[in-house]
Chain A
Amino acid sequence: MTKIQLTVDGAKVSDDVEPRMLLVQYLREKLGKTGTVIGCDTSNCGACTVHLDGRSVKSCNVLAVQADGSEVTTIEGLAEGSVLHPVQEAFRECHALQCGFCTPGMIMQSVDLLKDNPDPSEEEIRVGIEGNLCRCTGYHNIVRAVQTAAAGKVSGDAEAGSPAATAETEKVEV
């Protein structure tokens, strides 16, 4: 057992962990941060993506002990109280999720992508989220959500379909 101390979603935590414990297991099993999920065992799916000291990582690819002294943000720490992060808001606005299993990882990765490149092209978005698999959406609306968030077209308001957001988002043609 190794003692680790870190900050997760703004809270200081300290635990004894087995050296082999993965960060994602630590988050889920020890901290109950079940918003972060596990979709594979080969670091391919990105469902477990969190921010480690401000950069996105696949938390199944990091040992808990490696996060010692670090700051971790999960999907559960992204919103400011009841105010959603603009990327979260854009995902809802653009219907960028169906089952929602890939969503935490997808949102965390998109936030990181926009930090690096605030105005990405469609191609850059597609390449930027390539490490995150989604089986439900065909990525069409995920790409739209990232574009929408990049364009500042969502307010970050916690209200569903707030008028500002609804008005400016492209309507799906039917």
Chain B
Amino acid sequence: MTATQETSTEPAREIGRDRRRKEDQRLITGRTRWTDNITLPGMLHMAMVRSPFAHATITAIDTTEAAAAPNVVAVYTGKDLDESAGVLINAWPITPDQVTPAHPPLPTDRVSFAGEVVAVVVARSAAEARDAAELVDVDYEELPAALDLKEAAADTVLAHPDLGTNKSALWVFDSQEAGTGGDVEEAIAKARESGVVVEREFRQQRLIPAFMEPRSVVVDPTGEQMTMWSATQIPHIVRFALAATTGVPESKIRVIAPDVGGGFGGKLQVTPEEWMAWWVARQLMKPVKYTETRSESLMAAHHGRDQWQKITLAAEKDGTVTGLKVELLADLGSHVAIVGGGVPVLGAFMFNSIYKFPAYHFACQTVLTNKAWTDAYRGAGRPEATFAIERIMDELALELGREPLELREQNWIRHDEFPFTTVAGLEYDSGNYEEATRKAKESFGYDALRAEQQQRRESGDPVQLGIGISTFTEMCGLAPSRVLGSLDYGAGGWEHASVRMLATGKVEIVTGASAHGQGHETAFSQIVADRLGVPFEDVEVLHGDTQIASKGLDTYGSRSLVVGGEALVKATDKVIEKAKPIAAHLLEADVSDIEFSAGRFSVKGTDQGLAMAEVALATFAAHNLPDGVEPSLDSDATYDPINFNYPHGTHLCAMEVDTETGQVKMRKYTCVDDIGNVINPLIVAGQMHGGLAQGIAQALFEEAVYDDAGTLVSASFVDYLVPTAADLISFDVGHNSTPSLTNTLGTKGVGEAGTIASTPAVVNAVLDAIRQFGVTDITMPCTPERVWRAIQDGTAGAKDPTTGAAAAHFDPATDGAGQSNIADGTEGAGQ
């Protein structure tokens, strides 16, 4: 580790060590607790009847036959629900006048996306429930569906006719209004006269989080406190939302997220399936379970991304950027999901990235359509921003005939300029873009690959080489509660931790950050082991159950370590402070003479001392405590971050493109990331690898495709191309570390970095390989077909206007010639 600064006064023993994970013994031997593993006495099973239509009126539902099927206990439709069924909330109305369709768990008279649940069958076995679900007879009258995002934004067809518009909210940030920068229109006007203006439109295709464990929920109503087990990222938020909408007091609700098989934002939701399980269990007073199939998961669990991004960049002729204007259309799908409209807003502060733009304008129109709802997917808003800026910086370099990395360096914040307040109003605390880039170039073999590229170009090699760059930053560690409040988010961003000192010297720590693969048990144990000077093995981490971890705001936005870890540090420090007077009393010394180091309380200048375990035992016995001191060392802390933190990195990707077939092949991927101090390098590397794979998948493989009728075509792993091992390569992952100044441990989030950074690096590389054919853009995913077509159009020298949905919606007058030759990215069948 290249830590350049030690922020802790403790000798670092565990922090920074590549500890093997505590979690793994169970997971590699199959001793797991997935929600679907749970069976309870008398448990009933639910199956869902889902709409095959994107938009239709429900004219009748006949459940007679289903209800009479073997071992069916009940069949429910929307008309059976009462107020106690609750509603699915949107926690982040991004504007006061946001248009938000009502979202009961089941609709009564109209479906608004294909896959929406219209009836629930409850039976003694899952198979019988599914069989009977086939017998539910629903009459639909099909309505025209709002499917295409741009058309929907024009209100040609309404996704919810009663609302009168598809436009949900328009969210705007303007640097001049905010006082953080100048007027972007002025910058653009000036650049049109004497500088250069680059205008591009990019498509963020619709993606599916595709966690490997399908969602599952079990509700047990038999206790005084009803229990829900759910494959969720957010047990605390689910509990709050159940209480807030179903009328059951929060104190009567226990939500448990047992082992959860990945989330990536996809399990950051309150779902109709959970709400129905809750309501059905209360109706029947029996435990119920529902586990979705993969097809149901791909169809109805929330999707991610899905934006059109219109980007205008102004610069001087020497390459200095002068303004950035971002106009987004974001597809919400059928409903405004829990964080739905907020996702693009999370990107609003990041389009300017690491560059010193003096003027910035961001506007995002969220739009309702008749597709599955969208919400957070790994990176949430920031991958979209990073993609747009890193793509357009390449376009600017091309326009000016500059080397793309040099042009970036000319514009980025130099390491001696930190802390730096950006045009979006954020204060970046630390970073060193020069150093990360230097290391990345060296490890990548940048100059040699550039030389090879040149040579292949000159020799007319059918396999061309391209090099893609992404020098990204992101904001993570969600989030300072005041900031969330100022953005009208419905909750805070703090996190809670407790440290319990057991009589035997073992330590239990409780965190409100609920894990699903991130390795909290290991990393948090390392932090506490160092802080308290106890063995790593003696620390037990408890989480994911609202009865144990009673306070928390769960896991998303790369927040667990930087917010949850900081809460833990604060709780641990309180334990030490509570132990000091007791140690002093036992050692017959003055408190002011007590020092704590490496797990030992000692009296200054003597060899007298007591181990933490000894003080814990004495406190437990409580036979000899100072007057007025409570017999407990246990401590809690709730930490509200003061700022985000800003990991950054330089990602370099080499792609080989077979110009005869359009086949693309990744040759090398190098990244050097700055995530501050590293607690466990093994876990960090794993987060990077997995993040990279997801970002690369957006660039090359994945897309949720709907047909003209609004049916999801990619509703199985046959069609939705989650990459396999054979599709990817081993990555070259390195680090540079400038510790974050906004938390004690000096850490920055890492969970999303790989995903945020990698997509533009890959697309830039593919384009870099084939630019000489006149290709200026390829719509993601860059499939061989699209790449081949782009090359064909380019080599043919055709400058026909782009057709279909990929056509840029710029004013033709200002539309540069560079807008041609974009591989068609129309949505719909046949891609």
Using a CB–CB distance below 8 Å, which chain A residues touch chain B?
18, 20, 28, 33-42, 44-45, 47, 74-76, 78-79, 84, 88, 91-93, 95, 97-104, 107, 122, 125-127, 129-144, 160-161, 171-174
When distances are taken between beta carbons in the complex, the residues of chain B under 8 Å from A99 are: 211-213, 259-262, 516-517
Q: Which of A101, A102, A103 has the most CB of B within 10 A?
A: A101
A75 to B30, CA, bound (A): 6
Closest to B443 in A: A173
- Name B31's contact: one of A35, A37, A84, A131 (CB within 8 Å): A35
Pair B689/A100 contact, Cβ less than 8 Å = no
Interface residues as binary, B274-304 with A (CB distance below 8 Å gives 1, 0 otherwise): 0000000000000000000111000000000
Pair B34/A95 contact, Cβ less than 8 Å = no
Closest to B722 in A: A133
When distances are taken between beta carbons in the complex, the residues of chain A under 8 Å from B801 are: none
Is B21 in contact with chain A by the CB < 8 A criterion? yes
Is B32 in contact with chain A by the CB < 8 A criterion? yes
Is B264 in contact with chain A by the CB < 8 A criterion? yes
Is B24 in contact with chain A by the CB < 8 A criterion? yes
17 CB < 8 A contacts A-B: A20-B127, A35-B31, A37-B32, A42-B716, A44-B717, A84-B29, A92-B21, A93-B20, A101-B261, A102-B212, A130-B725, A137-B686, A137-B693, A138-B690, A161-B19, A172-B18, A174-B685
When distances are taken between beta carbons in the complex, the residues of chain A under 8 Å from B516 are: 99
Using a CB–CB distance below 8 Å, which chain B residues touch chain A?
1-2, 18-32, 34, 36-37, 127, 210-214, 259-262, 264, 293-295, 516-519, 678, 681-687, 689-694, 716-718, 722, 724-726, 728, 730-731, 733-735, 754
Pair B28/A91 contact, Cβ less than 8 Å = yes
When distances are taken between beta carbons in the complex, the residues of chain B under 8 Å from A97 are: 24, 27-28
A143 to B18, CA, bound (A): 19
Pair B24/A40 contact, Cβ less than 8 Å = no
- Name B21's contact: one of A38, A42, A95, A140 (CB within 8 Å): A95
Pair A174/B689 contact, Cβ less than 8 Å = no
Q: Which of B1, B681, B730 has the most CB of A within 10 A?
A: B730
When distances are taken between beta carbons in the complex, the residues of chain B under 8 Å from A174 are: 1-2, 678, 681, 684-685, 734-735
Pair B294/A42 contact, Cβ less than 8 Å = yes
Pair B716/A35 contact, Cβ less than 8 Å = no
A39 to B36, CA, bound (A): 11
Pair B693/A35 contact, Cβ less than 8 Å = no
Q: Which of B30, B293, B516, B683 has the most CB of A within 10 A?
A: B30
Q: How far is the CB of A83 from chain B (nearest CB, A)?
A: 11
Pair B32/A34 contact, Cβ less than 8 Å = yes
- Name A138's contact: one of B31, B294, B693, B735 (CB within 8 Å): B693
Pair B18/A98 contact, Cβ less than 8 Å = no
Pair A92/B692 contact, Cβ less than 8 Å = no
Q: Which of B20, B262, B294 has the most CB of A within 10 A?
A: B20
Q: How far is the CB of B75 from chain A (nearest CB, A)?
A: 22
Closest to B731 in A: A140
Pair A40/B28 contact, Cβ less than 8 Å = no
Pair B725/A45 contact, Cβ less than 8 Å = no
A85 to B520, CA, bound (A): 25
Q: How far is the CB of B766 from chain A (nearest CB, A)?
A: 19
Closest to B737 in A: A174
Query: Knowing A34-B37, A174-B678 touch, does A98 contact B517 (C-beta < 8 A)?
Result: yes
Pair A79/B731 contact, Cβ less than 8 Å = no
A126 to B30, CA, bound (A): 23
Query: Knowing A95-B682, A99-B212, A140-B689 touch, does A135 contact B722 (C-beta < 8 A)?
Result: yes
Query: Knowing A74-B30, A104-B30, A174-B1 touch, does A135 contact B726 (C-beta < 8 A)?
Result: no
Closest to A87 in B: B28
Pair B262/A101 contact, Cβ less than 8 Å = yes
Q: How far is the CB of A144 from chain B (nearest CB, A)?
A: 8
Pair A140/B730 contact, Cβ less than 8 Å = yes
Q: How far is the CB of A154 from chain B (nearest CB, A)?
A: 11
Q: How far is the CB of B29 from chain A (nearest CB, A)?
A: 6
